């Protein structure tokens, strides 16, 4: 089984500032997908951003961007101009492109946004 | 489109009771999943179904059974509930060749 590690159980950021959430993973595969999901207090899981391992360019979605370091097996999420609505649990996830039905999730980072 | 729906939203069981969690999706997705979410543990895969008529074990299948009734529906059954099964359960689905899983709203289950 793949291992996804989020070493920051909790993070906080001032409104309008930038925060980076860390994620590392363990795999012997070369082709895979990585994801960041957001879970607000409503419990609904929402896809924030995804990255294909074969792409060198880091993915960006509006205020959300990733720093994908394939050799280091690192996949961090940067949130710019943080907003109160960004407060949530954030989960990093991995999916193999070969045995692609299983997703592996990290333990999550709880993000607090301070007004 | 309702997306992925789950019933019930909340449930309290006594140890040894049985129950079935229901999940349905209206997006014509082939793959469906059941996860449990525990504090500090993230989401762990219980079972998944790549297509109608097939099911496979995930990381934590013990104590659970599943049925892929048809393409839309994927149910999770607890035959004899235990306090260790107290958790939030999520169903998800995914289209073929799609990156994204779509999640249901979750079921909070408490076993006393």
Q: What is the DSSP string of A31-44?
A: SEEEEEEEE-TT--
pLDDT digits (tens, 9 = 90+) for A19-73: 999 999 999 888 899 999 999 998 899 999 999 999 989 999 999 999 999 999 9
B103–A44 C-beta distance less than 8 A: yes
The answer on pLDDT for A4 being more than 70 is yes
Phi, psi for residue B27 in degrees, rounded to 5? -105, 5
A41, closest residue in chain B (CA to CA): B105
The answer on pLDDT for B29 being more than 80 is yes
A102–B45 C-beta distance less than 8 A: yes
Q: Which residues of B touch A105 (CB under 8 A)?
A: 35, 42-44
What CA–CA distance (Å, rounded) separates A75 from A67? 6
The answer on pLDDT for A99 being more than 90 is no
The answer on pLDDT for A8 being more than 80 is yes
pLDDT digits (tens, 9 = 90+) for A84-98: 999 999 999 999 877
Rounded CA Rg of chain B? 13
pLDDT digits (tens, 9 = 90+) for B50-106: 999 899 999 999 999 999 989 999 999 999 999 999 999 999 999 877 778 899 999
Strand pairing class (A103-105; A10-14): unpaired
């Amino acid at each position: 089984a793949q291992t996804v590690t989020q070493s920051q159980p909790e993070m906080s950021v001032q409104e309008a500032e930038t925060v980076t959430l860390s994620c590392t993973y363990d795999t012997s595969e070369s082709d895979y997908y990585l994801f960041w999901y957001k879970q607000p207090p409503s419990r609904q899981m929402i896809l924030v951003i995804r990255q294909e391992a074969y792409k060198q360019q880091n993915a960006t979605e509006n205020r959300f961007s990733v720093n994908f370091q394939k050799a280091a097996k690192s996949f961090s999420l940067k949130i710019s101009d943080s907003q109160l609505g960004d407060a949530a649990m954030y989960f990093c996830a991995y999916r193999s492109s070969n045995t692609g039905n299983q997703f592996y999730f990290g333990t999550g980072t709880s993000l607090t946004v301070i007004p | 489109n309702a997306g992925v729906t789950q019933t019930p939203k909340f449930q309290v069981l006594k140890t040894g009771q049985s129950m079935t969690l229901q999940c349905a999706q209206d997006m014509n997705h082939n793959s469906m999943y059941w996860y449990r979410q525990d504090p500090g543990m993230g989401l762990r895969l219980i079972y998944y179904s790549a297509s109608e008529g097939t099911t496979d074990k995930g990381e934590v299948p013990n104590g659970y059974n599943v049925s892929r009734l048809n393409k839309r529906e994927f149910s999770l059954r607890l035959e004899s509930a235990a306090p260790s099964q107290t958790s939030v359960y999520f169903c998800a689905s995914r289209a073929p060749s799609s990156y994204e899983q779509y999640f249901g709203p979750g079921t909070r289950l408490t076993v006393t």
